């Protein structure tokens, strides 16, 4: 069996209710962060981690995602004719080689666990990554690359975590560690939205995972959990009885693009760090204050 992490699952079939009406006709993860869609950054991160095949779990009305990762002969030939080589390179930068992306319909948004389960046939019998694309992670090395290195080191399953803002741990999925020493620690369990004061740590599960394929049969037999959805955390808790899980506190900054203020923060941050437009962006933003 290949132990390398070659494939990543990107569940994008949620309804994006927190960013409506923007996400009504544009899939949430196709919304722009400054000059490119959220998914462009996430694919770049995946590639930096050595991912060779991306499996998107999509819903109805999300054809724009497939179109974005396909050639666009009209646009490309118009740019070629006009000699706009720089824009052409931008348009082509995210394109996969044919066969490096798959698109699976979830058919009903039954929860993150169900979305991941939809990838079972394409993943097969090898470890794989899960990337929740609403979480943009600015990191060097890339956040998923840090998780893959941790997997190379300790094997099993890896969950990327980060400290919750002071007093906000009860809003998140929080990990319970055997002991907290350095950034990579063996887990004992996890709790979804613990009551204030009962949090086992301040580290929340932030949207990147490396999982073993043994998660699939557990997702298959799972009933509905919290919120009437099939939860990934419930299946991971079950798998933890048989296999080690480590929490990796990654080094970097996360922007949660799943709500309006997080998306705004990401827009400002990525505009400020843009290689050619960053200085103009800074002037434009300070002019607003």
Binding residues (CB under 6 A) for ligand UTP: these are: 11-18, 28, 57, 106, 109-112, 114-115, 132-134, 258
Burial (CB count within 10 angstroms: exposed 0-12, middle 13-18, buried 19+), residue 179 = exposed
Which lies closer to ligand UTP via its Cβ, residue 76 or residue 94?
94
Cα dihedral 51, 266, 161, 41, rounded to 10, equals 0
CB of 140 to ligand UTP, least distance (A): 24
Burial (CB count within 10 angstroms: exposed 0-12, middle 13-18, buried 19+), residue 93 = exposed
Non-local CB neighbours of 3 within 8 Å, separated by 6+ positions: 126, 127, 155
Which lies closer to ligand UTP via its Cβ, residue 18 or residue 47?
18
CB of 15 to ligand UTP, least distance (A): 5
CB of 77 to ligand UTP, least distance (A): 34
Which lies closer to ligand UTP via its Cβ, residue 7 or residue 114?
114
173 contacts 192 by C-beta, under 8 angstroms: yes
**Which residue number has the CB closest to ligand UTP?**
14
Non-local CB neighbours of 22 within 8 Å, separated by 6+ positions: 16, 28, 31
Query: In angstroms, rounded to a whole number, what is the distance separating the alpha carbons of residues 173 and 164?
Result: 10
Which lies closer to ligand UTP via its Cβ, residue 2 or residue 61?
61
Structure tokens belonging to residue 73: 């002969």
CB of 38 to ligand UTP, least distance (A): 10
276 contacts 270 by C-beta, under 8 angstroms: no
CB of 12 to ligand UTP, least distance (A): 5
CB of 240 to ligand UTP, least distance (A): 21
Which lies closer to ligand UTP via its Cβ, residue 39 or residue 139?
39
Which lies closer to ligand UTP via its Cβ, residue 73 or residue 228?
228
């Amino acid at each position: 069996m290949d132990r390398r992490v070659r494939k990543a699952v990107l569940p994008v079939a949620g309804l994006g209710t927190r960013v409506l009406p923007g996400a009504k006709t544009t899939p949430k993860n196709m919304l722009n962060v400054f000059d490119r869609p959220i998914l462009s950054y996430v694919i770049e991160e995946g590639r930096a981690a050595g991912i060779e095949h991306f499996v998107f779990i999509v819903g109805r009305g999300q054809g724009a995602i497939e179109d974005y990762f396909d050639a666009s002969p009209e646009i490309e030939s118009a740019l070629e004719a006009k000699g706009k080589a720089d824009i052409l390179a931008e348009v082509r930068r995210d394109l996969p080689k044919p066969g490096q992306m798959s698109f699976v319909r979830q058919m009903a948004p039954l929860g993150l666990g169900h979305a991941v389960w939809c990838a079972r046939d394409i993943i097969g019998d090898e470890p794989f990554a899960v990337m929740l694309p609403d979480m943009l992670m600015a990191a060097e090395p890339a956040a998923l690359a840090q998780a893959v290195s941790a997997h190379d080191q300790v094997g099993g399953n890896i969950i990327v975590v980060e400290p919750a803002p002071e007093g906000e741990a009860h809003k998140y999925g929080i990990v319970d560690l055997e002991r907290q020493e350095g950034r990579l620690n063996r887990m004992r369990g996890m709790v979804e939205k613990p009551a204030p004061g009962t949090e086992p740590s301040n580290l929340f599960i932030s949207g990147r995972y490396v999982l073993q394929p043994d998660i699939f049969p557990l997702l298959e037999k799972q009933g509905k959990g919290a919120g009437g959805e099939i939860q990934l955390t419930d299946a991971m808790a079950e798998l933890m009885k048989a296999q080690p899980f480590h929490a990796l506190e990654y080094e970097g900054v996360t922007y949660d693009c799943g709500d309006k203020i997080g998306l705004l923060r990401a827009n400002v941050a990525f505009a400020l760090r843009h290689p050619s437009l960053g200085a103009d962006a800074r002037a434009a933003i300070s002019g607003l204050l």
